[in-house]
A = this chain, B = another copy of it.
Amino acid sequence: MTHVIDAIRNGVNTDQMYGTLDAIKAQPELGAFRFRARNHWIDGAHNRTTIQGFYGAGQEDESRDEPFVIDAGEPAILLGTDTGANPAEYLLHALAACLTTSLVYVAAARKVRLTEVQSTLEGDMDVRGALGLSDEVRNGFSRIRVSFKVKGDAPEEKLREVVARAAQRSAVYDIVTNGVQLDVEVATA
């Protein structure tokens, strides 16, 4: 019982974590995942994404009984009615969430108990790009600033190391920093 309690660090079961890592080390093909999202347009800037199944660890994962349903929108100034956060804001959320989870997992592995993790993200965008008014500015963010506040039972230097390692291992940080090859296909009937 004491061991079980000790094994939970930052809400992460480290026994399960090491078990997963060992299993993938022994059988590297278990590391191949495919994540998915389905979206449909509702009206104007309002569209809805459904997320449920994914492929991973050698099989289709069917552990989620219900899908996650996520609505997007735009504020009035960008011609919407605020039916949800806008897509660029969701990208900031994805980045914040990934860095935070990476940080929490890295800390668990390094025996650092965290007491607080907060972050504020801000992205600069000249919307003349996306609105088709200028080819001299890009469509997306020109720059993103991430500011973390982290507290835990470790010296400042160790906490900073954990954050740095989290950024080095975060999936969304990698995607947003380095880009990804994207293939788009269209059916019209």
A residues near B, CB below 8 A?
Answer: 10-13, 16-17, 20-21, 24-25, 28, 31-41, 43-47, 49, 51, 54, 56-57, 61, 63-64, 68, 70, 72, 74-80, 82, 84-105, 114, 116-134, 137-151, 156, 159-160, 163, 167-189
Contact = CB atoms under 8 A, between A and B. Distances in A.
Contacts of A99: 184
Contacts of A117: 40-41, 47
B182 A47 contact: no
B47 A148 contact: no
Contacts of A46: 11
Contacts of A172: 87-88, 91, 140
A36 to B, nearest CB: 5
Given A144-B182, A148-B185, A35 B70 contact: no
Given A17-B79, A31-B127, A77-B63, A96 B39 contact: yes
A101 to B, nearest CB: 5
B121 A101 contact: no
B126 A45 contact: no
A43 B24 CA distance: 25
A100 B37 CA distance: 13
Contacts of A90: 70, 90, 93-94, 97
7 contacts: A36-B120, A37-B89, A39-B120, A45-B104, A129-B174, A149-B186, A176-B182
Interchain residue pairs A-B with the least CB separation, the first 8? A11-B44, A87-B98, A72-B97, A140-B174, A11-B43, A140-B175, A39-B96, A41-B117
A17 to B, nearest CB: 6
